[in-house]
């Protein structure tokens, strides 16, 4: 038995989404796959790309207590704000739905996903597993149901900073710097509204991403490594680049309508982990 679900990138609107502005996020063509093999005795984790002591709780919350060996594979960077835990949660829920003989619609996946994501993240906004369940681009506003968003698929190069940011600490740091940074947060929200009308234009979207990164620097969530990765992307053909997610580490996303070969080569030459993915990926690509 097998189920899988994709990870995500926040295209625009991280941090300002915490203050009621809208954000755009999209699923990526990298996924987490869970395989179950019949095996006598208690259900156990046979092997996993995601090493996390909370994993067993998530398995216990979703799978039968007896009879299965679980294998977890992901080609997402783990712990980099790309939704590896959310994609795992949605894949596990798809398996649970099969055991329970139900057809998992979005409302069910989103509601049940909160319970699983709380195991990993305490108090998640819900954007990660909403995108993973919907498989596409979404507009997300705190407290509202996520809205699917039409978006022409685009090529994005993801550059890995090599470290993880602590989302809770970064969100608290932004809160502490208010009200001085309020204009920057408002502008981040405005960029989302402007971009919603130009998602099929890589030049306009790239420009919005560049400005968003400058604002994320201003509100104090970027790092010198992330800024270097953004500069590298712009020097090697990206139409725009920004950190994606909470910052403090994690990844940079670079919009590369030409396929990103030049940027991938430049990253490789510097020993920076990088990969190309499609944004948003659709369920049809499974």
Q: Judged by CB, which is closer to ligand PMV: 13, or 237?
A: 13
Q: Judged by CB, which is closer to ligand PMV: 18, or 214?
A: 18
d(CA 193, CA 12): 10
Sign of the dihedral defined by the CA atoms of residues 181, 17, 250, 257, in that order: negative
Near ligand PMV by CB under 6 A: residue from 5, 11, 17, 134: 17
Q: Judged by CB, which is closer to ligand PMV: 127, or 281?
A: 127
User: What stretches of 136-260 show up as alpha helix (H) in DSSP?
Assistant: 167-176, 182-196, 202-218, 224-235
Q: Work out how close the CB of 11 gets to ligand PMV at its nearest, in angstroms, rounded to a whole number.
A: 12
Near ligand PMV by CB under 6 A: residue from 4, 7, 12, 15: 15
Evaluate whether 151 touches 265 at the Cβ level (below 8 Å). no
Check residue 164 for interaction with ligand PMV (CB under 6 A).
no
93 CB neighbour count, 10 Å cutoff: 26
Q: Judged by CB, which is closer to ligand PMV: 152, or 163?
A: 163
d(CA 91, CA 261): 31
Q: Which stretch binds ligand PMV (CB under 6 A): 27-35, 57-65, 129-137, 244-252?
A: 244-252
Q: Which DSSP string do the residues of 81-124 spell out, in sequence order?
A: SS-HHHHHHHHHHHHHHHHHT----HHHHHHHHHHHHHHHHSS-
Give the catalytic positions in this structure: 128
Phi, psi values for residue 244, rounded to 5°: -130, 125
Q: Give the position of tokens 């590298």.
A: 232
Question: Which residues inside 21-80 make contact with ligand PMV, applying CB under 6 A?
Answer: none
Q: Judged by CB, which is closer to ligand PMV: 20, or 42?
A: 20
Check residue 128 for interaction with ligand PMV (CB under 6 A).
yes
Q: Work out how close the CB of 250 gets to ligand PMV at its nearest, in angstroms, rounded to a whole number.
A: 6
Evaluate whether 5 touches 91 at the Cβ level (below 8 Å). yes
Q: Work out how close the CB of 47 gets to ligand PMV at its nearest, in angstroms, rounded to a whole number.
A: 26
User: Beta 66-74 vs 44-48: how paired, if at all?
Assistant: parallel
Near ligand PMV by CB under 6 A: residue from 113, 245, 248, 280: 245
User: For binding to ligand PMV (CB under 6 A), which residues are involved?
Assistant: 10, 14-15, 17-18, 81, 125, 127-128, 167, 171, 245-246, 250
């Amino acid at each position: 038995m097998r189920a899988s679900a994709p990870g995500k990138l926040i295209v625009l609107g991280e941090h300002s989404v915490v203050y009621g502005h809208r954000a755009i996020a999209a699923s990526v063509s990298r996924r987490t796959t869970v395989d179950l093999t019949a095996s006598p005795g208690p259900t156990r984790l046979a092997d996993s790309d995601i090493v996390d002591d909370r994993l067993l709780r998530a398995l216990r919350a979703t799978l039968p207590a007896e009879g299965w060996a679980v294998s977890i594979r992901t080609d997402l960077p783990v712990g980099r704000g790309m939704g590896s835990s959310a994609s795992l949660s949605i894949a596990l829920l798809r398996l649970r739905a099969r055991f329970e003989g139900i057809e998992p619609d979005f409302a069910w996946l989103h509601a049940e996903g909160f319970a699983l994501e709380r195991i990993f993240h305490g108090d998640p906004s819900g954007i990660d597993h909403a995108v993973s369940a919907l498989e596409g681009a979404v507009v997300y506003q705190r407290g509202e149901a996520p809205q699917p968003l039409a978006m022409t698929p685009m090529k994005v190069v993801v550059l890995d900073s090599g470290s993880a940011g602590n989302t809770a600490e970064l969100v608290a740091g932004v809160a502490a710097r208010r009200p001085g940074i309020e204009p920057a947060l408002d502008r981040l929200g405005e960029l989302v509204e402007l971009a919603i009308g130009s998602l099929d234009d890589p030049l306009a979207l790239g420009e919005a991403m560049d400005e968003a990164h400058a604002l994320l620097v201003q509100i104090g969530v970027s790092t010198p490594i992330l800024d270097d990765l953004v500069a590298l992307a712009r020097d090697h053909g990206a139409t725009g680049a920004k950190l994606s997610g909470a910052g403090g580490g994690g990844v940079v996303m670079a919009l590369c309508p030409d396929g990103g070969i030049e940027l991938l080569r430049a990253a490789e030459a510097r020993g920076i982990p990088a990969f190309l993915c499609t944004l948003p990926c659709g369920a049809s690509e499974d």
